[in-house]
Amino acid sequence: MPLTDQQADEIAAARTQHTPTARPTVPALEAMLYQVTPVLDHGFIRVIDYMGDDGAIVQAARVSYGRGTRRVSEDAGLIRYLMRHYHSTPFEMCEIKYHVKLPIFVARQWIRHRTANVNEYSARYSILDREFYIPSPEHLAAQSTVNRQGRGDVLAGDEALHVLGLLRDDAARCYDHYTEMLNEDETGAPRDPSRRGLARELARMNLTLNTYTQWYWKIDLYNLLHFLSLRADAHAQYEIRAYAEVMLRTVEAWVPVACKAFRDYRLGAVTLSAPMLTAVRRMLDGESVAMEDSGLNRREWTELMAALGRG
């Protein structure tokens, strides 16, 4: 279970509270507030708070005093223009805060995006739960032979069973040693009064990277969309992509016009270098262009052919 009964009760209580406000709200995202969306085997994402909406982007771009009287189509056109031409500050006017439960190795990849405010569960003060990420069989793959960062063929049969056994056994053994070093019960009292427990800040170093941690993560829309452009991409590591895809759905509920523009101009688009564009123009002029005379190296040529649907 991703949540304890106590946590579920706290969330249910929070969802019953309604506070009148003069600021703009988004009904579709309000319906998601505090709701837990499971990710992976023990993880989750939930929206805690947000500020702004599609109208806030437009308002900031025009530096207007109110919500404006322009038509929705004009506002959508402006947002699409801002997205298409890589304007940033109007999108920074919107912010969102998530509560995320995720494996430590995913958190260490995620934290490379240094444009958010983060507060992580502290294993110096509290004891981490006995929960570990174990990949489902379809995501248990060998190292790719052509991509140093990627996965290759899925493991099967005895190979898969052996790896899954190692992951479970190592995580369980390390956690058992972690609790043994802590020498604490649920109340914080010594399990064995005859010996002292190791400090929590030291005992935690024995935990495996598939142990789950939690954090609050607050970010503005511009930087969130940059995060999603990388982590919701088909080439991103599956585990972090699973979180990004859930977050993308919350963005769609929150700022649907901006999210549509993002899908059109970022996720569903490609960027061509000047030599790539030259090669495409030559093709459009009816010239037969091969890699050898395109001015592109093999990787660039392969990417261009994939973008043109000729890969």
Q: Which residues, 6+ apart, have CB-to-CB distance to 47 below 8 Å?
A: 29, 32, 33, 34, 35, 96, 97, 98, 250
**Percent of residues in the chain assigned helix, strand, coil, to nearest 5:** 50, 15, 40
Q: Does the active-site annotation cover 80? A: no
Q: Is 188 left (phi over 0), alpha (psi -120 to 50) or beta?
A: left
Q: Which residue has the tokens 């493991």?
A: 155
Distance separating alpha carbons of residues 193 and 69, to the nearest angstrom: 72
Contact between 54 and 25 (Cβ < 8 Å): no
- Which residue out of 46, 200, 204, 231 is catalytically annotated? 231
- The β-bridge relationship of strands 43-51 and 141-143 is unpaired
With CA atoms as reference, report the closest residue to 266 among 282, 244, 286: 244
Q: Is 22 helix (H, G, I), strand (E, B) or coil?
A: coil
Cite the active site residues: 231
